[in-house]
Structure 1
């Protein structure tokens, strides 16, 4: 697994993979699964249709009213929402699966919704990093305070704003994603961990870094401190490819 040292580089990697799916004369069909309030990617130069699905009605309304970049907005639960099979060239899901009980059902739906040869791009926290372990072991109110005090997000926890409760189903992990790929005919095109730190004040950044290092030492290396999050680029095999 390679490390990405900046958010900008991570965005470039994702954008390049999405653009590689584009063909002339036909707009790229993109599903943002758990679209939230904003779209962080820049896809200038390609023609695409962007569909966003989210269970948070407030966040979805903000996305439609403030950003206005969705061609179609669907309020619904990714475990049960009805979307066309083999419809999308790209499915993009950024820090969503860890918040869903029954996340494997969501991945099963991705398998149905993506076209053969299409991409599923997933960003998740690594539950076996120091950061992921602390997130799993601490209550939701602590996460809200962390966002408000250390990260400086005063609206954290209010309707339409993260953080959301976390569950970390077994599939939301390095082993879980790879097992799912083997079972359902996906190829792991790329796997990355982030090596950058979240924004925060100087003392907070130093404290977070120290906690990560100490946590990794105390776990005898079982928990990683060098990365917190994972990025997967998955390709659905076509009928002509072996599973």
Structure 2
């Protein structure tokens, strides 16, 4: 098993670089990429290499809106990740950023991704580590003070008239009826202390990843165990403090809270990092026959 290291570049650059290196090994082959968690973030940059990108994610208004806005996807499917169409051994690269920790039945979802990966293919995973002080605060703080979530939204109402339908790209599939977001409603003023704490522990804007569930596999040790049990090879493994740094690491109350939690847990929950990054390869069986 590899050692935990600090990445020299951002995870997006790291994953895109590994994807381009993989594509160079297949000069005459079209690269098929599965963007797992296409409702948040951006895709891989493969340059001018011929590739086909398929996106999958859960079905919610916010994730659907972001998926529709993306121009790098050739096709996408939203719904239960245990049932979305994923042909076996169909993808060269599976790219999953901020997904494993926010989906239910994460281990089963990972099994589907691995089954859809070609032998020798890459599984690129970036997740918030469950066994960190940051994740503990993310799980235990009230929802409206959540470090990774947004303010709770009212349930979107069914649209009426000409604006009721959301444009759907060719080849796309949705689960359930299209909904339009409810118009903004002004909330009653809150106490100044609560607003200050909320600004301190919650990133602003759309940069904050979706709210996480943190099942046991969504951790450094959980992913290492999963790879050992499934016969996968961890090529690279890195730690980062992206979520903590987004909240003002070293200066803000979020960093102090993380260090306090780490101290009270006697080191069981670390404050040294908040996310882990894995570059995983699915081994090839050189003795297998293609029928």
TM > 0.5 fold call: yes
Change (3 A) 1:125 1:56: same
**More strand, by proportion:** 1
Larger mean Cα displacement after TM superposition, 83-92 or 215-224:
215-224
* Structure 2 unaligned blocks of 5 or more: 152-194
Residue 208 (structure 1) aligned with residue 254 (structure 2): yes
Aligned residues of 1:3 and 1:195 also touching (Cα < 8 A): no
Matched, 1:85 2:88: yes
Distance 1:217 1:152, change over 3 A: closer
- Where does residue 100 of structure 2 map in the other structure? 97
**1:109 Cα shift?**
0.3
Deviates more, 1:218-227 or 1:189-198: 189-198
Structure 1: distance between partners of 2:260 and 2:277: 25
Q: Give 2:226's aligned residue.
A: 180
**TM-aligned CA distance change 1:201 to 1:179, over 3 Å:** closer
Q: How far apart, CA to CA, are the structure 2 residues paired with 1:101 and 1:37? A: 17
2:66 maps to 1:62: yes
CA 1:37 to 1:222, structure 2 compared with 1: closer, same or farther past 3 Å? closer
Q: How far 1:62 sits from its partner (Å)?
A: 3.4
- Residue aligning to 1:124: 127
Change (3 A) 1:110 1:133: same
Does residue 11 (structure 1) correspond to residue 12 (structure 2)? The answer is yes
Match of 1:35 in 2: 38
Q: TM-score, normalised to structure 1's length?
A: 0.84
Check if 1:75 corresponds to 2:96: no
Report the Cα distance in structure 1 between the residues aligned to 2:30 and 2:56, rounded to whole angstroms: 19
| Maintained 8 Å contact 1:38/1:67 | no
Q: What's the CA shift for 1:205?
A: 4.7
Deviation at 1:149, TM superposition (A): 3.0
Task: Figure out how many residues of one structure are paired with residues of the other and give that number.
Answer: 232
Is 1:198 aligned with 2:202? no
| Alignment partner, residue 163 of structure 1 | 210
Structure 2 equivalent of residue 226 of structure 1: 272
Relative to structure 1, the CA distance from residue 105 to residue 56 in structure 2 (aligned partners, 3 Å threshold; closer, same or farther) is: same
Whole-angstrom distance in 2 between the partners of 1:15 and 1:155: 22
Larger Rg belongs to: 2
Q: What RMSD, in angstroms, separates the aligned Cα atoms of the two structures?
A: 2.6
Structure 2 equivalent of residue 149 of structure 1: 199
